[in-house]
Amino acid sequence: MSVDTAAAVAERFRELYGAEPEGVWAAPGRVNLIGEHTDYNDGFVMPFALPHTAVAAVSRRTDGALRLHSADVEGGVVELRVEKLEPESDRNWTAYPSGVLWALRQAGHAVTGADIHLASTVPAGAGLSSSAALEVVVALALNDLYDLGLKGWQLARLCQRAENVYVGAPVGIMDQTASACCEAGHALFLDTRDLSQKQIPFDLAAEGMRLLVVDTQVKHSHSEGEYGKRRAGCEKGAALLGVDALRDVAYDELDAALDRLGDDEEVRRLVRHVVTEDQRVEQVVALLESGDTRAIGPVLTAGHASLRDDFRISCPELDLVVDTALADGALGARMTGGGFGGSAIVLAEASDVETVTKSVEEAFAAAGFTAPRVFEAVPAAGARRVR
Ligand code: GAF
């Protein structure tokens, strides 16, 4: 995010609210390298931050008013009262920033209001965590302005609560933690049970590779039913197996666990995905740490097959990206994020990027799909104050 962007967001704040903002903050979207639908099973994930950010110019208020404006949505300033914020009362974009204020106040923090202007470059509905970026940027701004002293992982927990309870979407903790805690040049190996973290250096360019993000432009939403159904199915699996979460089913005990699930085919598929996906995250970490980066390709591709066949959350556009990229020599490819649309990632040799991109675009045109948006992703910084 450039200095110019921060200055432009501050300038717009001045126009809207007639005063200089107390500060400007930025929080990124993310792509997840591996570890999908494991976060609400207490498992492992490995996201990294995108250069695309939600930027917020913010000032405190002491009169209980919360004034919100977004450069990305039609309409003027929305004014709310902090003491009247009610879970699931708001179906608009404003639910994300207000939900954060609500969660902070619920946790006992004396946040007495704010003026906020937001502008985001994270594509919405693309599986790249545009909502988490909005939540985290507001949480970080209020944390700094109200001197709350909360750490990144604590802000992530509050943002998740805002999204679960206030917005009403049953998401896990990955996206908020990625936005709050990622570091430039690294992927974040996160244990979602205790939020312990390890920053893993991830510099593909130095090894002659690239990671492409292909936004299929098929929009999805987590408050719709399918995400919640998968989550409920996983919880049912854990209950049937007598464990707290599917994280507790060891990979080498998977077959025995599946036998115990009997003929509940749907739960068996969900359990198989989660247990093998946790194993894939650990494999990718081991390969990256031993310098065998190219070998992560087939692991990513195996993750896609598991999400497509066992978890059943892919779609024709995502499958087409993966199949086309692999046919053109990509090292690995998979859908990323919640699924049912959104984005896929492709790991490719730098020399193959142009061919792979062209083939994917041509395959989409031939299938009659909306043209995808393709860009290269390099791990960027997590949430921070920019002005
Ligand atoms: C969405 C959710 F918000 C995350 O918590 C996670 O479950 C992800 O889907 C799937 O891995 O991004």
The model's pLDDT over 358-375, given as tens digits with 9 standing for 90+, comes to 999 999 999 999 999 999
Q: For ligand 1, say whether the CB of 337 is within 6 Å of any of its atoms.
A: yes
Q: How far apart are CA 161 and CA 172, in angstroms?
A: 10
Q: Is 130 annotated as a binding residue?
A: yes
Q: For ligand 1, say whether the CB of 39 is within 6 Å of any of its atoms.
A: yes
Q: Which atom belonging to ligand 1 lies closest to the Cα atom of 32?
A: 11
The ipTM estimated for the assembled molecules is: 0.99
CA 37 / ligand 1 centre spacing (Å): 6
Q: How far apart are CA 50 and CA 164, in angstroms?
A: 23
Q: What residues does 200 pair with on adjacent strands? A: 187
Q: Is 6 annotated as a binding residue?
A: no
Q: For ligand 1, say whether the CB of 171 is within 6 Å of any of its atoms.
A: yes
Exposed / middle / buried, residue 243 (Cβ in 10 Å: 0-12, 13-18, 19+): middle
Query: How is residue 205 annotated by DSSP?
Result: G
pLDDT value at position 224? 66
Q: Residues, the chain, total?
A: 387
CA 171 / ligand 1 centre spacing (Å): 6
**Of 302, 306, 125, 134, which Cα lies nearest the Cα of 216?**
125
Q: For ligand 1, say whether the CB of 215 is within 6 Å of any of its atoms.
A: no
Q: For ligand 1, say whether the CB of 37 is within 6 Å of any of its atoms.
A: yes
Output the pTM of the full model: 0.97
Exposed / middle / buried, residue 252 (Cβ in 10 Å: 0-12, 13-18, 19+): exposed
Q: Which atom belonging to ligand 1 lies closest to the Cα atom of 129?
A: 12
CB distance 192 to 39 below 8 Å: yes
For residue 93, is it left (φ>0), alpha (ψ between -120 and 50) or beta? alpha
Known catalytic residues are 175
pLDDT value at position 356? 98
pLDDT value at position 221? 63
Query: Residue of the nearest CA to atom 1 in ligand 1?
Result: 338
Residues (pLDDT < 50) of the chain are: 223
CB distance 51 to 191 below 8 Å: no
Q: What are phi and psi of 329, to 5 degrees?
A: 95, 10
Query: How is residue 362 annotated by DSSP?
Result: H
**Of 38, 30, 43, 34, which Cα lies nearest the Cα of 298?**
34
Query: Residue of the nearest CA to atom 9 in ligand 1?
Result: 338
CA distances from 309 to 103, 224, 325 (A): 37, 21, 19
pLDDT value at position 223? 45
Q: Which helix (H) or strand (E) holds 348?
A: strand 343-349
**Of 131, 60, 133, which Cα lies nearest the Cα of 92?**
131
